[in-house]
């Protein structure tokens, strides 16, 4: 895995929606062997031909990067990069609010 695609956020520096969207786009492009320009954040994940094994792998990498649990079903509940990033970014904001 390319370390530039997998920087670890600190507990105090939770990623923004834009950070999550960029990470997902980069990771998907790397997985598909394409450029980030070939990734549409509003296209459904299934339009990229991801099988269940790849979805589980992506959710596991995302979980590791975010340092919190990410269920593979979230990629079906929020079926685009944009909607998943927004959901996860909103959760980060809620977590920060609870820590204050």
Task: Judge if pTM exceeds 0.95.
Answer: no
Question: Is 29 a domain residue?
Answer: yes
68: left (phi over 0), alpha (psi -120 to 50) or beta: beta
Give the total number of structural domains in the chain: 1
Question: Is 73 a domain residue?
Answer: yes
What's the rounded Cα separation, in Å, for the pair 39 and 77? Answer: 19
Segment 1-31, tens digit of pLDDT: 454 555 554 444 789 999 999 999 999 999 9
Is 88 exposed, middle or buried, given 0-12, 13-18 or 19+ CB atoms closer than 10 A? buried
Which residue range is the domain that position 27 belongs to?
Answer: 17-99
Question: Is 6 a domain residue?
Answer: no
Helix 17-32 crosses helix 81-99 at what angle (to 10 degrees)?
Answer: 140
């Amino acid at each position: 895995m390319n370390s530039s695609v997998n920087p670890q956020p600190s507990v105090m520096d939770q990623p923004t929606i834009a950070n999550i969207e960029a990470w997902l786009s980069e990771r998907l492009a790397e997985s598909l062997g394409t450029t980030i320009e070939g990734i549409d954040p509003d296209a459904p994940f299934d339009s990229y031909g991801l099988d269940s094994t790849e979805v589980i792998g992506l959710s596991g990498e995302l979980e590791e990067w975010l340092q919190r649990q990410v269920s593979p079903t979230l990629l079906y509940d929020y079926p685009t990069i944009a909607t998943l990033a927004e959901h996860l970014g909103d959760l980060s904001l809620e977590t920060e609010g609870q820590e204050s």
